[in-house]
Chains A and B, each alone.
Chain A
Amino acid sequence: MDDESQRSKPGLKLVPRAAREGQSDETLLASFFQGDDGAFGLLCTRHEPLVLSLVRRWARTPDDARDLAQRTFLRALQAARRDGRERRGGERAGPLEFRRWLVRIAVNLGKNHARDEARAGRVALEALGAAEGREPDAPSLVLRRERERRVRRAVAALPPRQREVLTLRVDGDLPFAEIGAALGITENAAKVSFHHATRALRALAGEEDAK
């Protein structure tokens, strides 16, 4: 598909997909901005799992998750294009820039969704997975699901910073150093926020009572 899309654009240099897979995000972005749609396909493949894992908590349906992921990528592309203009002739963006933008944007979209969900008084996506036709659950499973629902509701009710750190770690599996960089705080502050989030969740979800 990439090769076909390149062929349709006269003047573009054909680069085998295998050779491009080793290219940096910055190189792929530059190719995309020059009209090579296939370069974005590779970028998307590279970062889609992270973006999906960060936005699906706030989605109610699979299409909802895809739309949130699309908005995340779209805004990151716009940020990269603006940044590219501003840096023209100056220093280049670091290799982690695009990923950092994706994380920040996904966090902000999640923040808006968490706010909207709280306003609407409902919980986002009780598990995209859980809603799909499963066998009827055994009573113990029902209880466990109920507890999971309670905890996930509590996640949306956490203070923003705690919620961001928690979801970046649990959903995105990001190192705390990267979480700190994405949120503009130190690695240590991110760890402490994570600890507070864990304790707050236990309190919010009734863990203390259950003990």
Chain B
Amino acid sequence: MKACPEYDVRLSLRAAGALEPAEAAEVEAHLAACPACRAEADADAAVLAAVRLPAPTDAERLSMSQLAPRTVGAYRALEGKRARAGGRSRRAMIGGFAAAAAALIAVAVSQPTTTTTRATSTASSTATSTATSTATATPTSTATPSPTAAPAAPARRWKTPDLDRLWDDTSAVALGASAAATAYAPDDDTADGDDELLATDVLLAAWDEAGL
């Protein structure tokens, strides 16, 4: 026997105890007069009763008593790890940018002369050291441009991101240390141009120059 189509859904809801009082009264009145719907209602109730899990046991309750301290411990541990990783990542980003900027400057300085090849190799080596996260500010000091050098055009003005948001912003690219330099660039005191450039552009330009 089939239930009356207009009561079909409501019979399931009745078995779940989810009918509004007025609706429930209407369904009960119908059930009193319709054996087919009564059979359906009984079958729905039986299957839902079988779905229900037994009440939690003492062992479960005991196990759950440790939930809060364990969760707090896990959360604090994760946050600590994250903070450490964030610090490392920022240092790597700063170092990465410094290396990229140094490479660019080195290339810019060398272009008017005949030492392009050597400058290119310098760029390669600084880029490599970026990947190992060991090149903090060192490359900058080893590749300081001479006062007569042409200005490093792309290294004009940098956007300083909000450090609090940096990890979230860059989590997708921070896995590769060299790519980290695409997201961060410190203020450049020598900036005098009007155009704003992203560190990405600088790094790509450096890579192009270095033939990577």
A interface residues (Cβ-Cβ under 8 A, vs B):
37, 40-41, 44-45, 48, 52, 56-57, 62-63, 65-66, 69-70, 73-74, 77-78, 82, 85, 127-130, 132, 147-148, 150-152, 155, 166, 169-171, 175-176, 191-192, 194-195, 198-199, 201-202, 205, 207, 211
* Residue of chain B at shortest CB distance from A51: B67
Complex Cα distance, B51 from A51, in Å, reads: 18
Determine if B50 is an interface residue (Cβ-Cβ < 8 Å).
Answer: yes
Complex Cα distance, B47 from A150, in Å, reads: 10
Q: With A44-B68, A82-B168, A169-B18 given, is the CB distance from A205 to B48 under 8 Å?
A: no
Task: Please pick, from A128, A130, A191, the residue contacting B56 in the complex, using a CB distance under 8 A.
Answer: A128
Q: Find chain A residues with CB under 8 A from B64 CB.
A: 48, 52, 62, 65-66, 69
Once the chains bind, are A66 and B63 in contact (CB under 8 Å)?
Answer: yes
Interfacial residues of chain B within 18-49, with CB under 8 A of chain A in the complex: 18, 39, 43-44, 46-48
Q: With A40-B72, A151-B51, A170-B51 given, is the CB distance from A70 to B44 under 8 Å?
A: no
Binds A, one of B8-16, B85-93, B110-118: B8-16
Complex Cα distance, B13 from A140, in Å, reads: 29
Determine if B212 is an interface residue (Cβ-Cβ < 8 Å).
Answer: no
Q: Find chain B residues with CB under 8 A from A170 CB.
A: 16, 48, 51-52
List 16 A-B residue pairs with CB atoms under 8 Å apart, sorted by A's residue number: A52-B64, A57-B53, A62-B63, A74-B78, A85-B168, A151-B51, A152-B50, A155-B51, A169-B18, A170-B16, A171-B52, A191-B9, A191-B18, A198-B16, A205-B47, A207-B47
Q: Find chain A residues with CB under 8 A from B48 CB.
A: 170, 198
Q: Find chain B residues with CB under 8 A from A199 CB.
A: 12
Once the chains bind, are A77 and B75 in contact (CB under 8 Å)?
Answer: yes
Q: Find chain B residues with CB under 8 A from A82 CB.
A: 168
Once the chains bind, are A194 and B13 in contact (CB under 8 Å)?
Answer: yes
* Residue of chain A at shortest CB distance from B165: A85
Interface residues on B, range: 35 or more
* Residue of chain B at shortest CB distance from A70: B71
Complex Cα distance, B196 from A61, in Å, reads: 59
Q: Which of B18, B44, B62, B78 has the most CB of A within 10 A?
A: B18
Once the chains bind, are B46 and A207 in contact (CB under 8 Å)?
Answer: yes
Complex Cα distance, B51 from A171, in Å, reads: 9
Determine if B189 is an interface residue (Cβ-Cβ < 8 Å).
Answer: no
Q: Find chain B residues with CB under 8 A from A85 CB.
A: 164-165, 168
Once the chains bind, are A65 and B71 in contact (CB under 8 Å)?
Answer: no
Determine if B172 is an interface residue (Cβ-Cβ < 8 Å).
Answer: no
Q: With A40-B68, A69-B67, A147-B50 given, is the CB distance from A192 to B60 under 8 Å?
A: no
Once the chains bind, are A128 and B67 in contact (CB under 8 Å)?
Answer: no
Once the chains bind, are B55 and A195 in contact (CB under 8 Å)?
Answer: no
Task: Please pick, from A150, A171, A191, the residue contacting B53 in the complex, using a CB distance under 8 A.
Answer: A171
Q: With A132-B57, A194-B13 given, is the CB distance from A166 to B67 under 8 Å?
A: no
**What 9 pairs between A and B have smallest CB-CB spacing?**
A129-B54, A151-B50, A195-B12, A62-B63, A44-B68, A62-B60, A198-B12, A195-B9, A66-B63
Task: Please pick, from A40, A65, A207, the residue contacting B63 in the complex, using a CB distance under 8 A.
Answer: A65
Q: Find chain B residues with CB under 8 A from A201 CB.
A: 47, 51
Q: Find chain A residues with CB under 8 A from B66 CB.
A: 66
Complex Cα distance, B44 from A30, in Å, reads: 44
Complex Cα distance, B24 from A57, in Å, reads: 29
Q: Mark B164-208, 1 if CB is under 8 A from A, else 0.
A: 110010000000000000000000000000000000000000000
Once the chains bind, are A70 and B70 in contact (CB under 8 Å)?
Answer: yes
Q: Find chain A residues with CB under 8 A from B74 CB.
A: 70, 74
Q: Find chain B residues with CB under 8 A from A44 CB.
A: 67-68, 71
Q: Find chain B residues with CB under 8 A from A40 CB.
A: 68, 71-72, 75
Once the chains bind, are A151 and B13 in contact (CB under 8 Å)?
Answer: no
Once the chains bind, are B59 and A62 in contact (CB under 8 Å)?
Answer: yes
Q: Find chain A residues with CB under 8 A from B53 CB.
A: 56-57, 127-129, 152, 171
Measured CB to CB, the closest approach of chain B to A163, in angstroms, equals 11
